[in-house]
């Protein structure tokens, strides 16, 4: 039976983010919790979270049961109880914000929520890719996101619901969610599995927003992936495929995950006004699995961004690493995806088999010098040697070696220095446990080291992430609208941004002005609004903190600026690739619904 979750007390494992269900009664500790609340309130608010030293002092002055410490999750639960019970007149939202754990996670304006698909055969044979059969291809069991997925048996509902509970427990807003679906090649999963997986993610968002707990009804058919072992003489695909067939029989390709397109559409329609809305949905795939049919399918699923593996832009390097496609496939995929309005998130890997430091610098330059590429976001993943990867044979034979610290630093510094202002570098080092890396870089703060080195050389990063306002105070009158124009494989592109005099970024829009005919008939003749994003710490819908960037009307002003630019460029209509949870907002701005997009007459 579905039950309400209002009275449930949840805590969070600080390492894995997994929700732990233990009894904690705020009412029994209301005196201590109220005293803690007043001490937090008395500390001057600089817009950030409390320092560890300040928090430690407060906790020591108010020990739990006279001997222990309250966790932040317990204090946040207490603040919410005191406010709802009318026992506290202080600003609950402000106090919870100051108590947030890992506030950087939501400083970009939305709350990212990552879920993984189950282990499944992969079309690739890349020599650098790990072969952990307990995980989706290329992922490792020790990665934090993989640990959370495994504990939830890779069930989409359980992963989504429990992650929402974890975020709420540590004080993060959960009304605007970017759903990030990872796990190898999304496009290689059967359509039936894709529909079911995303529908269940939406179900969890909708239920949690209505304070409904449906986890008891989520019954994963496979619960023992961790028992899988790499079989001697068998490939990842052989081992995982055999395992799935043994447990699911003839339905192993996904037919057993039963959900129709109509059911997904219904779940999406509920989410348009849900308490937890999907304001972005991301999948990852390979360039050689992109087609017009695939693009229309993932758009119908609600996808707004695609993570796509470049790995290298050298045909020779791709061939040596058995990537399975050439650079022309990458160019074609980027062109098709951009023409359909998707945000483009590329992955690039230095230090692959056959690569050199100088060759990697040249290779990185191609990312932004080639007009067919020029992604909106970028992950830089230096190749790491994992024992289960085929690359081990090349390491043992001496054909491959990891770059030294100084070599890798030189490549990464050169890369960061050349990223244009319209691109966001989301990650530089992959979150792989040092225990899993045989040789090579094991420093998780390598990005910070590279950025510091760039500054010492007289340079600076100008990418989106380095300029975000985050928690800084922003006044509308201090912002100016700036446009960066560049050419792409489909025509002109305008990166419109509100910036301060110090070039701090408060919000931006990505506008495509295509000169080639669109593959999707619905987009023919239209300019295309690919993204609107307002930065600053994520705030709840309807909340308007005075000096934060979000909810100050910047988004609607960016849309107006994009519409004016499109009209001046000769377009009579503007289409937007809206997320399910942003449809209402675009309707208020004058957009009407189409089959896959929303449209405004100019």
Strand boundaries in 161-244, DSSP class E: 176-182, 212-213
Q: What angle do CA 584, 587, 592 make, to 5 degrees?
A: 125
41-45, 122-126, 349-353, 487-491: range with lowest mean pLDDT: 41-45
Per residue, the 3-state secondary structure of 236-282, as one string, reads: HHHHHHHHHHHHHHHHCCCCCCCCCHHHHHHHHHHHCCCCCEEEEEE
Say how far apart CA 570 and CA 525 lie, in whole Å: 10
CATH number of 304-467: 3.30.750.200
Q: List 496's β-bridge partners, or say none.
A: 483, 509
477 in helix, strand or coil? Answer: helix
Which range has the worst mean pLDDT, 46-55, 203-212, 244-253?
46-55
Contact partners, residue 198, CB within 8 Å, separation at least 6? 156, 181, 264, 281, 301, 302
Task: Report the chain's mean pLDDT, rounded to a whole number.
Answer: 88
Q: pLDDT, tens digit, for every residue of 56-108?
A: 788 888 888 877 778 777 777 777 767 777 767 777 667 776 766 555 444 55
Can you give the pTM of this predicted structure? Answer: 0.85
* pLDDT given for residue 3 in this prediction: 47
Strands (E), 353-469: 377-380, 424-427
Provide the H-helix boundaries in 62-143.
Answer: 72-84, 92-99
pLDDT higher at 62 or 577: 577
Q: What is the pLDDT of residue 252?
A: 64
pLDDT in tens, 384-434: 999 999 999 999 999 999 999 999 999 999 999 999 999 999 999 888 888
User: Which tokens in the block code for residue 571?
Assistant: 């377009």
Which pLDDT band holds residue 374 (cuts at 50, 70, 90)?
A: very high
Q: Which of 436, 431, 381 is nearest to 411 (CA)?
A: 381
Q: Which band of pLDDT confidence, cut at 50, 70 and 90, is reported for residue 535?
A: confident
Please name the residues in contact with 505: beta carbons below 8 A apart, sequence gap of 6 or more.
Answer: 464, 467, 468, 469, 497, 498, 499, 535
User: What is the average pLDDT across 297-303?
Assistant: 97
Domain extents for the chain? Answer: 3-101, 118-176+188-279, 304-467, 468-601
CB neighbour burial string for 440-475, b if at least 16 within 10 angstroms, e if fewer: bbeeeebbebbbebbeeeeeebbbbbbbbbbbbebe
Are 569 and 513 contacting, i.e. CB atoms less than 8 angstroms apart?
yes
Superfamily of domain 468-601: Gcn5-related N-acetyltransferase (GNAT) (3.40.630.30)
Taking only the tens place, the pLDDT of each residue in 257-295 is 678 999 999 999 999 999 999 999 999 999 999 999 999
CA–CA separation, 346 and 306 (whole Å)? 8
Question: What percentage of the chain carries pLDDT values higher than 90?
Answer: 65
* Mean pLDDT along residues 469-489: 90
């Amino acid at each position: 039976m579905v039950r309400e979750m209002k009275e449930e007390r949840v805590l969070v494992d600080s390492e894995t983010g997994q929700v732990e269900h233990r009894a904690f009664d705020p009412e029994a500790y209301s005196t201590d919790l109220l005293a803690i609340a007043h001490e937090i309130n008395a500390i001057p608010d600089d817009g950030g979270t409390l320092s560890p030293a300040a928090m430690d002092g407060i906790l020591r002055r108010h020990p739990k049961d006279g001997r222990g410490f309250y966790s932040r999750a317990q204090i946040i639960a207490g603040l919410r109880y005191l406010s709802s019970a009318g026992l506290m007149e202080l600003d609950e939202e402000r106090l919870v914000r100051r108590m947030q754990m890992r506030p950087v996670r939501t400083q970009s304006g939305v709350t990212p929520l990552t879920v993984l698909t189950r282990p499944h055969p992969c079309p690739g044979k890349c020599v650098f890719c790990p072969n952990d059969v307990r995980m989706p291809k290329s992922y490792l069991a020790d990665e934090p996101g993989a640990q959370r997925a495994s504990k939830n048996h890779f069930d989409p509902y359980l992963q989504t619901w429990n992650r929402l509970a974890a975020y709420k427990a540590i004080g993060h807003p959960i009304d605007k969610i970017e759903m990030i679906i990872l796990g190898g090649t999304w496009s290689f999963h059967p359509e039936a599995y894709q529909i079911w997986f995303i529908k269940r993610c939406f179900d969890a968002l909708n239920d949690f927003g209505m304070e409904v707990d449906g986890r008891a009804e989520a019954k994963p058919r496979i619960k023992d992936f961790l028992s899988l072992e790499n079989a001697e003489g068998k490939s990842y695909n052989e081992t995982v495929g055999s395992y799935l067939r043994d447990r699911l029989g003839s339905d192993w390709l996904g037919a057993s995950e039963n959900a129709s397109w109509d059911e997904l559409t219904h779940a999406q329609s509920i989410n348009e006004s849900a308490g937890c809305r999907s304001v972005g949905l991301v999948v990852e795939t390979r360039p050689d699995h992109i087609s017009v049919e695939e693009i229309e399918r993932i758009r119908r699923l609600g996808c707004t961004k695609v993570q796509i593996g470049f790995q290298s832009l050298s045909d020779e390097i791709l061939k040596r690493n058995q990537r399975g496609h050439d650079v022309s496939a990458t160019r074609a995929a980027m062109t098709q995806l951009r023409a359909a309005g998707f945000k483009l998130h590329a992955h690039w890997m230095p230090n692959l088999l056959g690569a050199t430091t100088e060759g990697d610098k040249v290779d990185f330059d191609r990312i932004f010098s080639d007009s067919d590429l020029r992604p909106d976001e970028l992950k830089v993943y230096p190749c790491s040697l994992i024992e289960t990867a085929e690359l081990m044979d090349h390491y043992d034979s001496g054909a491959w070696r990891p770059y030294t610290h100084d070599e890798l630093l030189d490549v990464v510094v050169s890369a960061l220095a050349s990223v244009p202002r319209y691109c966001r570098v989301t990650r530089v080092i992959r979150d792989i446990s040092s225990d899993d890396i045989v040789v090579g870089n094991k420093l998780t703060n390598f990005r910070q080291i590279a950025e510091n080195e760039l500054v010492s050389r007289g340079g600076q990063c100008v990418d989106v992430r380095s300029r975000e306002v985050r928690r800084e105070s922003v006044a509308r009158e201090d912002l100016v609208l700036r446009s960066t124009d560049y050419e792409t494989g489909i025509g002109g592109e305008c990166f419109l941004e509100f910036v301060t005099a110090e070039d701090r970024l408060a919000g931006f829009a990505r506008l495509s002005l295509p000169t080639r005919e669109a593959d999707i008939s619905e987009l023919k003749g239209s300019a295309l609004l690919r993204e609107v994003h307002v930065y600053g710490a994520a705030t709840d819908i309807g909340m308007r903190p005075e000096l934060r960037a979000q909810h100050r009307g910047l988004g609607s002003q960016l849309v107006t600026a994009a519409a004016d630019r499109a009209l001046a460029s000769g377009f009579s209509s503007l289409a937007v690739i809206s997320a399910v949870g942003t449809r209402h907002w675009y309707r208020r701005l004058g957009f009407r619904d189409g089959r896959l997009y929303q449209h405004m007459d100019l």
